[in-house]
Structure 1
Amino acid sequence: MLAFAGELASLVGPIFLRHRIPRPPFRPQRSRLRPPLLVTMLLVRRRSSLTILITAFSSLLYQNFSLHDQVNELQEHIYELENLLQVHNVSRIINDGSDSVHHVPSKGLKRLALFVSVTLLSIPLLVLKYVDYVSRSRSRSSENSSEEVSLNKQLAYRVDAFLSVNPYAKSLGLLVATLLLICLGGLALFGVKDDSLAECLWLSWTYVADSGNHTNSEKFGERLVSVSISFGGMLVFAMMLGLVSDAISEKFDSLRKGRSEVVEQNHTLILGWSDKLGSLLNQLAIANESLGGGMVVVMAERDKEEMELDIAKMEFDFKGTSVICRSGSPLILVDLKKVSVSKARAIVILAEDGNADQSDARALRTVLSLTGVKEGLRGHIVVELSDLDNEVLVKLVGGDLVETVVAHDVIGRLMIQCARQPGLAQIWEDILGFENCEFYIKRWQQLDGMHFENVLISFPDAIPCGVKVASLDGKIILNPDDSYVLQEGDEVLVIAEDDDTYAPAAVPMVKEASFIHTSRPARKPQKILLCGWRRDIDDMIVVLDAFLAQGSELWMFNEVAEKEREKKLIDGGLDIERLENITLVNREGNAVIRRHLESLPLESFDSILILADESVEDSAIQADSRSLATLLLIRDIQAKRLPMVTHVQNGSFSPGSWIGEMQQASDKSVIISEILDPRTKNLLAMSKISDYVLSNELVSMALAMVAEDRQINDVLEELFAEEGNELQIRQADLYLFEGEELSFYEIIIRARQRREIVIGYRLADAERAIINPPSKSIRRRWSVKDVFVVIAEKE
């Protein structure tokens, strides 16, 4: 190499000396006419120098490849000599006797491998170029035909469709690209290195896996190939990182949006979203507290994060119950299977806020979807309906799997019962909710053969109120005869704090004494006012006609025109001519305008029912604000018209205050307000100017109770119906004398003379009733001002 450099210097030196030109004399008069000769000579000198450098670099490359060929020839001669020695059984040790000389492929084979790798690498580029050329040619030849799609667009579409349809297309493409890179890189390395093909393939993988491995390459060809493979390896690993990142992001996105499958069983499934969900979750959490908590799955057509945020804002104790949210439609079987619908022990379908017919139609379609689950359903379906007329159709579709709760009908009947018996709303709230005492049904084998009158006093921590008769296909009989004897398979319906807090004990010794009770006075005609309009008001009129005495009046005050009002009642199925006990009186006006209310004889009504008006029913806060304003206006007008009373009611308000005057007016009439938002409850409870009905919360309680035990729905339906048994409030003078000392068991025995079951009481100086009182055998002194809560037949 040093000799070659010397020869190069000997060639370059004379050339530079030969081109040395003397400086021309200064000629200022001709400098602007032509360029100076010096510039021309410099350009010639630069071009000559560039030519010399190119020639030198080419000579270097030639010498490099020439030496490489000589080395290959020598290696081939060595290989041939080794073969001759092996033929004559002669072994030769080289490299200090440690490693034997490996097989060195021929020069032609290496050049073929290099040519194949370059050719295979060029084929995709040539194909893409050809496709582009064909597409352009076709586009120019068919300019008038706009329907024909170019070849490159078709190819791009096929690739895009393959990647979109096949879930493993990206991973498969990455694998193929990696294998091609390793194979082509191994062939290229085989063409420039002296190693075997297997060793070159392994070396190619190391370049792909770690781009820093190519730094050990020494020759120019090896470095060029290794850098190319390393660059391809960086692209492969970038693609792999992208796929892994996309897979992780997709998984987290699936978890965030609630698209993953719920692997649970014996859980409660809630389909839909409404304002009742918070109260429903609270009741289910309380019901599962004795079990250490349960599992509730909520699926609605909302974003999972929004649902979880709304549930977190409810801020109540779940008591160990877990709530899982999933986004999906209950009308799609795939989404239903995603929440393990076939393994749920109960499925609750919530009614949507808004139009009643659309909500019930959607509930019907959801029931159809549930009945179409191939695996079948383990639990029952609880459907919240908005219109009573749709109940028959839903039960026809769902069959024995379905239990219905008609929200509007339940609230309407509760309002009527509470209007007839003030204080009943609080009792219903205690019985329907799981915070206090509720209904349970269980079989007790030790009670077989016992009369029901003895069963009544056999539970220290519960109150029996009915029997599920096995011989009548499991029919539940409320308030049966004392002479009924429990048979094998019969179950006892009780009111208890929880299903594991009560058990039968030995029948206590209770003194039986007959009591000559005063008969209840006959029902008198009443005057009822309905403020507002709701879609099932025709059903409320029918129930009022069944409950009220003959000669009663029902005043209807709302903004619906009288002619349109009568048409709506008839369309709802009400036959006004068939009303037996009540007479309808129509008045038109706005219930939040004082001037309109003053036109009514508000002081003469026995009961006033303020309904959540249909026009603002969709907004709970707006409906409650309207009801509260109507309540305050009515009480204020009554207080101004009624004579002042000198006594002061129990409470913190003075008789001279406006609330004190309204409290005195509340002694003259009962006002029942339909409340949708639970927060409004505190306002009415503090002022004590109205007995309230908490609409949404009571419906949620009923849904939770039926979801926990579907048998309870039969009990609730009878208690809400016009016929059969119902909850009633009785005066204490029907069972005892003033100051008489009796135990609760003795009062139960005396109430049986009237065919009634006493389940609780409220003392004269107490604000709330006590259901299923403890220490039933202990005597206490009673007052005739006390009242008892009983289950009795409707009068």
Structure 2
Amino acid sequence: MPSQIHRKPQSSFPYFPPPPPPPPKTPSFRDVSETAPTPYRDFKYARTRRRVDVSQRSQRSKVSEESNGAVSGPKPEVSAVSAKIEDVSAVKKVSKIIGVSVRDLKNRWYMAVSVAVLITVFSSLLYKNFSLQNQVNELQVLVKILDLKEAQRQTLVQDQISNCNISIGATNSIEQEIDHLPSKNLKILALILSITLLSVPFLIFKYVDYVSKSRSLDNISEEVSLNKQLAYWVDLFLSVHPYAKPLGLLVATLLLICLGGLALHGVTDGSLAECLWLSWTYVADSGNHADSEVSEKLDSLRKGRSEVVEKSHTLILGWSDKLGSLLNQLAIANESLGGGIVVVMAERDKEEMELDIAKMEFNFKGTSVICRSGSPLILADLKKVSVSKARAIIVLAEDGNADQSDARALRTVLSLAGVKEGLRGHIVVELSDLDNKVLVKLVGGDPVQTVVAHDVIGRLMIQCARQPGLAQIWEDILGFENCEFYIKRWPQLDGMQFEDVLISFPDAIPCGVKIASYSGKIVLNPEDSYVLQEGDEVLVIAEDDDTYSPAALPTVWRGSLPKDFFVPKSTEKILLCSWRRDMEDMIMVLDAFLAPGSELWMFNDVLGKEREKKLTDGGLDINRLVNISLVHREGNAVIRRHLESLPLQSFDSVLILADESVEDSAIQADSRSLATLLLICDIQAKRLPFRDTQVHRGSFSQGSWIGDMQQASDKSVIISEILDPRTKNLLSMSKISDYVLSNELVSMALAMVAED
């Protein structure tokens, strides 16, 4: 009978296999997706889903009630709790950082101690080995002695003579071996000493930073590690002293010979003198030389890559023709202190800067000049010269375009303001345009002092043309060699008028007052009726700060000028040779000084239309000139034919300007100015018969050509602008012209502002 197949009744629901065993941690029912082994819509697990859902809802309600209760609570407690949590987290972070640093330092110390222990163990094992060898040698000698004695007993009487000779020889050999034992101890000591001396520099070089860091934990003020100080001292020694490189090679050679001789003496049987000689032969052998490697290493140490480890030094940023005069003035200022430290950083090679400074013909008088190559716009380079520890920072203007130079000076001030450590000293900035002074002061703030060089020199030349000899007076006042400015308070002068203060100092010249009620503002040449108040200080020009003091008022006859007293001005004719960037400013100053009807002749190689455009762009309105009239002439100031076309014999003053736009260097500009000066003096001397003159100077004979030029210069004042101080000797010897050392005067002003 066929078997019947029993089938399960059909149901409206699909059939699913039994669920798998539950995992160790059962997730919530809502996390089960449709792709899970147990479908979400399985009615078989509907009751389980409801239970889980109800439990989750109860948990959510509890959490929400707790959160609502926390929110509805008092807000100050929440803020206080959050603040405490933040404080605790901050303390944990700080403690974690401190713990990491201390743990790192401990690990380094453990490493250093481990290395020291290994070296000690190695040295002790080496010493133990040599001591055991000595004991073995001593035992062997004793065995030989015992053997010889035993042999002597066993010999016959007839062989005593021969045995005596043998025993004598053996005894001598034994004595030699016994005497040789102390020399072996010396060999061991020499070997250990040589190994120690060779290992000490490597240990110092490797672990000197760890020692400095451990010291910095005890002394917070120490900021520079010992390895940086050593690198700086080596760099300074190699840079300052010209004999440093051969001396270093000599010391290294001697140390190598001595250490090699000690090592050879410890491992060989030769004497110390023989080992030293053998070590010298090894060093002197040309095949063992490493000249190029050693020389390259010493040269790399002179590249100036080390950080300047100095404090209270003067920092100069930039390079220009004024650097030589500036260094000279700073050296003179620091002479009374035994010398100072001046650091120069520019975008030039360090060795080239040192070579150019060495060519300067003046004595540094104990002042050390350190050069570094870098950009003042990069904070890393500024940190390399210790800008935050400098006593004064001088920013030099670049030679060339004035606008670009001032823009770079502004960026340099911005970089200095961004130093995180802050600046200890003040900043002295050399600017080329007076209009940029306010902008630089706005960016830098109170620590910034500006010196507008170009405009000051132009106005000074005009004053020197009207009052010959004024330039030398300015040199004496601004320089540190002669009289200087001093400011001091004198209580006995309180309540006295300034006109009485002027005659109270027999050895000084009062020229201003620092008014205490005006927040220390200095007023130059105040009114004669001004009465000194308590706290006011007097600004004087004196030889030194201890060479002057107020004295009793002398008897003075007081008079008064008539009310209608007037000194009439006469018309003048002035010649300006060459072109300056601030020509429009000089024209406006001359228009304010000269009498109506005066003439200003402008002789240069700038075309007429371009000349008018430059003057107009500079802010000059020719139609508003009241006292002078402009006369334009085109030509080259070093060509005699062009100069002869001018009425040189009729000018009252001749100003020869340094044409910086034509020449690339100060020496070339001075050469051009000297050529123009000699041509003008020669032309004036040959036109002397047309002038009535009997005055001449007595330094040269009247018949000489220099005497003729001096006679010509007596009739008209000739002022030459000189850039290089070395050109001053040529003009001072000939005495045919007055001169204005523009670069040196600017350097004096920068040095005085930096030092005071």
Q: TM-score range by the shorter chain?
A: 0.5 to 0.7
How far 1:673 moved relative to its partner? 0.7
Structure-1 separation of matches of 2:572 and 2:742: 25
In the aligned structure 1, how far is the partner of 2:195 from the partner of 2:674? 70
Give the Cα–Cα distance (whole angstroms) in 2 for the partners of residues 618 and 271 of structure 1.
21
Residue 708 (structure 1) aligns with: 755
Distance 2:716 2:563 in 1: 27
Superposed displacement of residue 516, structure 1? 8.3
Whether 1:695 and 2:742 are equivalent positions in the alignment is: yes
> Which amino acid in the other structure matches residue 612 of structure 1?
A
Which of residues 654, 659, 669 in structure 1 aligns to 2:706?
A: 659
Give the equivalent residue in structure 2 for 1:427: 473
Confirm or deny: 8 A CA contact 1:525 1:548 kept in the other structure.
yes
* CA distance in 1 between partners of 2:332 and 2:126 (Å): 60
**Any residues of structure 2 matched to 1:387-406 within 5 Å, and which?**
387-406=433-452
Give the conservation status (yes or no) of the 8 Å contact 1:535–1:614: no
Q: Residues 210-289 of structure 1: matches in 2 within 5 Å?
A: 254-255=235-236, 256-289=302-335
CA distance in 2, matches of 1:267, 1:574: 43
Are residues 1:675 and 2:722 paired? yes
1:380 pairs, out of 404, 426, 446, with: 426
2:544 equivalent among 471, 491, 498? 498
Which residue matches 1:463?
Answer: 509
Residue pair 1:333, 1:373 contacting (<8 A) in 2 also:
yes
CA change 1:254–1:515 in 2 (3 A) is same
Closer, same or farther in 2 for the Cα pair 1:211/1:505, shift >3 Å? farther
* Alignment CA distance shift 1:393-1:205 (3 Å): same
SS in 2 for 1:685: helix
What is the TM-score normalised by the length of structure 2? 0.60
2:677 matched residue in structure 1: 631
> Cα 1:474–1:213, aligned 2, differ >3 Å: closer, same or farther?
same
Q: Percent identity?
A: 79
Letter in 1 for 2:745: L
Q: In the TM superposition, what is the alpha-carbon distance from 1:265 to its structure 2 partner?
A: 3.9
| Partner of residue 407 from structure 2, selected from 354, 358, 361 | 361
Q: List aligned pairs for 1:151-550, cutoff 5 A.
A: 254-255=235-236, 256-510=302-556, 512=558, 521-550=567-596
Determine the structure 1 residue equivalent to 2:639.
593
List per-residue Cα deviations over 1:171-205 (Å, max 9, x = no partner): 99x999999xx8xxxxxxxxxxxxxxxxxx99878
For 2:395 and 2:431, the matched residues in 1 are separated by: 9
1:308-362 CA-to-partner distances (Å, cap 9, x unmatched) read 4433433433444444444433222233334343343322111122332222222
In structure 2, C-alpha distance between the alignment counterparts of 1:210 and 1:549, rounded to whole Å: 104
For 2:21, the equivalent position in structure 1 comes to none
Name the amino acid aligned to 2:578: G
CA contact (8 A) 2:504 2:551 kept: yes
Q: Moved runs in structure 1, 4+ residues, more than 6 A? A: 174-179, 201-216, 234-253, 513-518
Could you tell me how far apart the structure 1 residues matched to 2:203 and 2:441 are?
A: 50
Q: 1:449 to 1:295 in 2, by over 3 A?
A: farther
Contact 2:697 / 2:711 at 8 angstroms: preserved in 1? Answer: no
Kept in 2: contact 1:207–1:214 (CA 8 A): no
TM-score relative to the length of structure 1? 0.57
**CA 1:214–1:305: 2 relative to 1, 3 Å:** farther
1:721-748 residue CA offsets vs partner (Å, 9 max, x unmatched): xxxxxxxxxxxxxxxxxxxxxxxxxxxx
Q: Distance in 1 between matches of 2:340 and 2:566?
A: 47
Measure the CA separation in 2 of the matches of 1:478 and 1:465.
6
Structure 1 unpaired stretches of 5+: 1-167, 183-200, 219-233, 710-795
CA shift in 2, pair 1:215/1:530, >3 Å: farther
Separation (CA, whole Å) in 2 of partners of 1:638 and 1:468 = 49
8 Å CA contact 2:231, 2:306 repeated in 1: no
Q: Does 1:621 align with 2:621?
A: no
* Structure 2 gaps, min length 5: 1-104, 137-193, 209-226, 237-301
Cα deviation, residue 675, structure 1: 0.5
For 1:352, the aligned partner's letter is E
Q: 1:398–1:203: structure 2 CA closer, same or farther, 3 Å change rule?
A: closer
- Hey, what's the Cα distance between the residues in 1 that align with 2:587 and 2:120? 90
Partner Cα separation in structure 2 for residue 370 and residue 314 of structure 1: 29
Instruction: Point out the structure with the larger helix share.
Output: 2
Q: In the TM superposition, what is the alpha-carbon distance from 1:448 to its structure 2 partner? A: 1.5
Instruction: Give the aligned length.
Output: 507
Corresponding position of 2:169 = none
Note closer, same or farther for the CA distance 1:472–1:239 as it changes in structure 2 (3 Å cut).
closer
Q: Helix, strand or coil: the match of 1:431?
A: helix
1:612 corresponding residue in structure 2? 658
Specify the SS of the correspondent of 1:330: coil
Question: Which amino acid in the other structure matches residue 413 of structure 2?
Answer: V
Question: CA 1:175–1:420 in 2, change beyond 3 Å: closer, same or farther?
Answer: same
Alpha carbons of structure 1 residues 206 and 516: separation in structure 2 relative to 1, 3 Å: same
User: Following the alignment from structure 1 to structure 2, what is the Cα–Cα distance between the partners of residues 633 and 326?
Assistant: 44
SS at match of 1:681: helix
Contact persistence 1:206–1:213 (CA under 8 A): no
Confirm or deny: 8 A CA contact 1:611 1:627 kept in the other structure.
Answer: yes
Counterpart residue type for residue 615 of structure 1: S
Counterpart Cα distance in 2 of 1:492 and 1:281? 30
Amino acid at match of 2:540: V
Amino acid at match of 1:683: L
**How far has the Cα of 1:493 moved from its partner?**
1.1
For residue 454 of structure 1, what is the amino acid of its counterpart?
D
Judging changes above 3 Å, is the alpha-carbon distance between structure 1 residues 472 and 210 closer, same or farther for their aligned structure 2 residues? farther
Distance 2:499 2:331 in 1: 35
Deviations 1:384-441 (A, max 9, x none): 1123332232122112222211221111111111111122111122112122112222
CA distance in 2, matches of 1:558, 1:317: 39
Q: What is the CA RMSD across the aligned residues, in angstroms?
A: 3.8
What is the SS of the residue equivalent to 2:661?
helix
> Is this contact kept in 2: 1:382–1:404, CA < 8 A?
yes
**Counterpart for residue 564 of structure 1:** 610
1:25-61 deviations in whole A, cap 9, x for unaligned?
Answer: xxxxxxxxxxxxxxxxxxxxxxxxxxxxxxxxxxxxx
Which residue identity does 1:358 align to in structure 2? Q
2:742 is the counterpart of 1:684: no
CA contact 1:444–1:491 (8 Å) conserved in 2 = yes
Q: 1:499 to 1:333 in 2, by over 3 A?
A: farther
Q: CA shift at 1:487, angstroms?
A: 0.5
Write out per-residue CA displacement over residues 112-144 of structure 1, whole angstroms, 9 at most, x where no aligned residue. Answer: xxxxxxxxxxxxxxxxxxxxxxxxxxxxxxxxx
2:436 counterpart letter in structure 1: N
Distance 2:320 2:589 in 1: 28
What's the offset of the Cα at 1:278? Answer: 2.0
Q: Deviation at 1:245? A: 8.3
> What letter matches 1:697 in structure 2?
E
Distance 1:202-1:671 versus aligned 2 partners, 3 A rule: closer
Is residue 648–residue 654 contact of structure 1 (8 Å, CA) maintained in 2? Answer: no
- Distance of aligned partners of 1:176 and 1:416 in 2 relative to their CA distance in 1, 3 Å threshold: same
